[in-house]
Amino acid sequence: MTLTPTPLSDSEYHAKAMAVLAAVEARADELLQQDGLDIDTSRTGGLLELTFPDRSKIVINTQPPLHEIWLAARSGGYHYKYVDGRWRDTRTGEDFFDVLSRCASEHAGRRVAFGAPA
């Protein structure tokens, strides 16, 4: 699949990538408050680790030189570029939040949904 990334300046990339990390952290907090699902979040700069109750992890990492976001989970590693307002997998075109939701559900052992920042 060939994707044509939306051109972003470094500052635009940084703002959009940090918004993704903030949205994931906020949703993890909501899941604890609403559903009792304890996903521990730990962020250092552009790297966010999600640790699930079984101690498995999902790692989301910004890649500023490439203007990408990378996701590593039990099911594999994924690379995302910003295309027409969404972070899309560079191989399949899948949306970042759809893949994160699927991976988080696998790690949590139940359905977990994440969504794009408003």
- pLDDT tens digits for 4-26? 999 999 999 999 999 999 999 99
For 46, list phi and psi in degrees, rounded to 5.
-95, 15
pLDDT for position 35: 86
pLDDT in tens, 52-61: 999 999 999 9
pLDDT in tens, 76-117: 999 999 999 999 999 999 999 999 999 999 999 999 999 988
Q: 49-64: buried (b, 16+ CB within 10 Å) or exposed (e) per residue?
A: ebbbeeeeebebbbee
Beta strands (DSSP E) in the chain are 40-44, 47-51, 57-63, 68-73, 76-83, 86-89
pLDDT for position 1: 65
CA distances from 63 to 10, 22, 24, 96, 98 (A): 11, 16, 17, 15, 20
Give the whole-angstrom CA distance, residue 64 versus residue 6: 15
Residues 6+ apart with CB under 8 A from 18: 46, 62
CB 86 within 8 A of CB 96: yes
Query: What is the pLDDT of the chain when averaged over all its residues?
Result: 95
Domains annotated on the chain, with CATH:
10-108 (3.30.920.10)
pLDDT in tens, 60-69: 999 999 999 9
pLDDT for position 73: 98
